Chain A
């Protein structure tokens, strides 16, 4: 398995190096902007303006950096298919479990390494921007990692199942598009039921009628919307934030186990290649 993991590292090394360089440039840029906010031109914007810019750069450094770091979770299933290695690997003295295990283990290693670097990055950002340590940010960084890992795991499993990388990419995209549309539809439905608690139908009601009804209740449409996001949506987001400590490992383990099992099973079929 070590040999296959080395192959994963060698083939994706170029891509990971590029991502790492972009990450370092981003960090440098954030630090430079912070310096400018203290000593340079941005400081001339005044205390409020400079503080706002500084605050935005802090989040870019912490979470933008994390996004870049976690995008190093990749695989070489498609290059392997193109080079013919996926056929060749069946001639090697390695089982299907090890073939798939090498891919998943490499991903987990990168998830771990990117999380650690993300935490170091957070500490550096706190130091540079003079912020206090917020333990929740550790969980948020891990949550970003989980999302990247989940997307990759689903894509890898689909690729092993359908065997054709192009079709697998289309299936994965369609799957996430469905999820996205489903989430959008769900949010609209949720918003509608929230409006109903005010006795108003969000959809199928004229905007003027809705405004008039809300005015009668002494509240504006904007205020209802703000309350919806502040009380309803953010409550759920907070719930995820508070429970990420068990949610993340559960999602990680569940996805890894399901993906691994399905991929090994698919690889054992070996019917289509000729």
Chain B
């Protein structure tokens, strides 16, 4: 693997389906970081991830993984990636022992010791059929399998969805541990933005097949803010300064993109910090401009 700066580089990725288009998606995931990929259902997260993984073929655009064109030498770069999905992709009659034997012959870098180590750590049985596993156990198993062949890039599609907070925290700790090695990178799509706020270095927000925001999480959170005002004051605010406004009987809350500038421009206005959840909701409603 040659030297590379970004684990993933996507330029102008386009995929057309009946009723949905992934439209010129471009973003990069720097090596050694964790990127949160957020967006509502049907926004295009899975289509993007499936394109990166080679599960679907995009209509146009370029995807580079570890600095190489993803269409070339697929079997080589796939030795160094792991995919984790929201559902366990293994048959319910299999058990961890069988999976260990299978994957040992598939990945050159597979380590049975590492896999068994994770199974012990997650308290997963070696011979119990996957059909008898709980949702949390299935997810831990996928993560154990994903981390047992020395993958440099972990791609997760809604992996923490449906898990209880205890299991989610446990999994997030594993990811932070994984990122101790600066060569390792994570791209994680999730609805649960609170998880991403905890661990993500950067965030990419997709809506209706288009990238709306991409950058370092801290920069995004620092620049965005919720401006709180009365309905009357809301009318006086320049429409270019905010993404959308949530107007209720008691007042209005506006998502502003340049918190510092707005503070200067509208002196006295209360501007609170925005969460990723807020940013997602306000951006999704950007076409309506005002909503309740």
The interface of chain A, by Cβ under 8 A from chain B, is: 1-4, 6-7, 10-11, 13-14, 76, 79-80, 83-85, 87-88, 90-95, 269-274
Smallest distance from the beta carbon of B95 to chain A beta carbons, Å?
9
**Given the interface contacts A85-B90, A88-B89, A274-B50, does A3 sit within 8 Å of B57 by beta carbon?**
no
Given A3-B105, A3-B106, A87-B55, A11-B94 contact (CB < 8 Å):
yes
What are 12 sample pairs from A and B whose C-beta atoms fall under 8 A apart?
A3-B102, A10-B98, A83-B88, A83-B90, A84-B89, A85-B90, A87-B55, A91-B82, A92-B106, A92-B107, A93-B75, A270-B54
- Contact status A273-B55, CB under 8 Å: yes
CA distance A133 to B100 in the complex (A): 46
Cβ-defined contact, B83 with A88, below 8 A: yes
* B53 beta carbon closer than 8 Å to chain A: yes
Task: Give which listed residue, A1, A10, A88, A270, contacts B57 with CB less than 8 A.
Answer: A270
Which residues in chain B, 50-92, are within 8 Å of chain A measured between CB atoms? 50, 53-57, 74-76, 78-79, 81-83, 85, 87-92
| In the bound complex, CA of A264 to CA of B47 (Å) | 23
**How long is the Cα–Cα vector from A95 to B76 in the complex, in angstroms?**
10
Given contacts A10-B98, A83-B91, contact A271 B56 (CB under 8 A): yes
Does the CB pair A270–B55 fall under 8 Å?
yes
Residues of A within 8 A of B167 (CB): none
What residues of chain B have their CB less than 8 Å away from a CB belonging to chain A? 17, 46-47, 50, 53-57, 74-76, 78-79, 81-83, 85, 87-94, 98, 101-108
Asked whether B91 lies within 8 Å of A79 as measured between CB atoms, the reply is yes
Interchain CA distance A271-B55 in the complex, whole Å:
8
Most buried by A among B55, B79, B81, B85: B55
- In the bound assembly, the distance between CA atoms of A95 and B82 in angstroms comes to 16
| Chain B neighbourhood of A11, CB < 8 A | 91, 93-94
Question: In whole angstroms, what is the CA distance A128 to B145 when docked?
Answer: 52
Shortest Cβ gap from B94 to chain A (Å): 6
B76 — nearest CB in chain A belongs to which residue? A93
Q: Is the CB of B102 within 8 A of A274?
A: no
* Given A83-B88, A273-B50; A94-B106 close (CB under 8 Å): yes
- How far is A240 from B101 in the complex, measured between Cα atoms in Å? 44
- Contacts A6-B101, A93-B78 given; indicate if A269 touches B91 (C-beta within 8 A): no
Q: Which residues on B sit within 8 Å (CB–CB) of A1?
A: 105
CA distance A93 to B55 in the complex (A): 12
A92 to B105, CA, bound (A): 11
Contact A85 B55, CB 8 Å, known A91-B83, A274-B17:
no
Q: Is the Cβ of B107 less than 8 Å from the Cβ of A274?
A: no
- Specify which chain A residues have a CB less than 8 angstroms from the CB of B56 in the assembled complex: 270-274
Min CB–CB distance B48 → chain A (angstroms): 10
Give the nearest-CB partner of B107 in chain A: A93
CB closest chain-A residue, reference B108:
A93
The 3 closest A-B pairs by CB, nearest first: A3-B105, A88-B89, A3-B106
- Across the interface, name the chain A residue whose C-beta is closest to B73: A93
Name the residue on B nearest A270 (C-beta).
Answer: B57
Within the assembled complex, what's the spacing in Å between the Cα atoms of A259 and B46? 31
Which residues of A are found within 8 Å of B104, using beta-carbon distances? 3
Contact A87 B17 (CB under 8 A): no
- In the complex, A76→B90 CA distance in Å? 12
A6, closest chain B residue (CB)? B102
Nearest A residue to B59 via CB reads A271
Q: B47: which A residues are within 8 A, CB to CB?
A: 274
Known: A91-B81, A273-B50, A274-B47. A6 touches B91 (CB 8 A): no
B53 near A91 with CB under 8 A, answer: yes
- Measured in the bound complex, the distance between the Cα atoms of B103 and A271 in whole Å is 26
The answer to whether B106 and A274 touch across the interface, beta carbons within 8 angstroms, is no
Q: Which residue of A lies closest to B146 (CB)?
A: A91
Q: Using Cβ atoms and an 8 Å threshold, which residues of chain A touch B101?
A: 3, 6
Report the bound CA distance from A79 to B130 in whole Å. 14
CB distance from B234 to the nearest CB of A (A): 40
Q: Tell me which residues across on chain B come within 8 A of A80, comparing CB atoms.
A: 91
The residue of chain A having its C-beta at the shortest distance from the C-beta of B54 within the complex is: A90
B85 touches A88 (CB 8 A): yes
Contacts of A274 in B (CB 8 A): 17, 46-47, 50, 56
Who on chain B is nearest to A11 by CB? Answer: B91
CB A16 to nearest CB in B, in angstroms, measures 12
A-B contact sample (5 more), CB < 8 A, given A4-B106, A93-B108: A79-B91, A85-B90, A91-B82, A91-B83, A93-B106
- Taken together as a complex, chains A and B put the C-alpha atoms of A88 and B99 apart, in Å, by 13
Q: A79-B91, A87-B55, A88-B85 are in contact. Are A6 and B98 (CB under 8 A)?
A: yes
Interchain CB contact (< 8 A) of B92 among A3, A83, A94: A83
Structural contact, A14 and B81, CB atoms closer than 8 A:
no
A175 to B122, CA, bound (A): 49
Distance (whole angstroms) from the CB of A268 to the closest CB of chain B: 9
Q: Give the complex CA separation of A11 and B98 in angstroms.
A: 10
**Do B87 and A84 touch (CB < 8 A)?**
yes
A85 with B91: CB separation less than 8 A: yes
With CB as the reference atom, state the residue of chain A lying closest to B102.
A3
- Shortest beta-carbon distance, A107 to chain B, in Å? 18
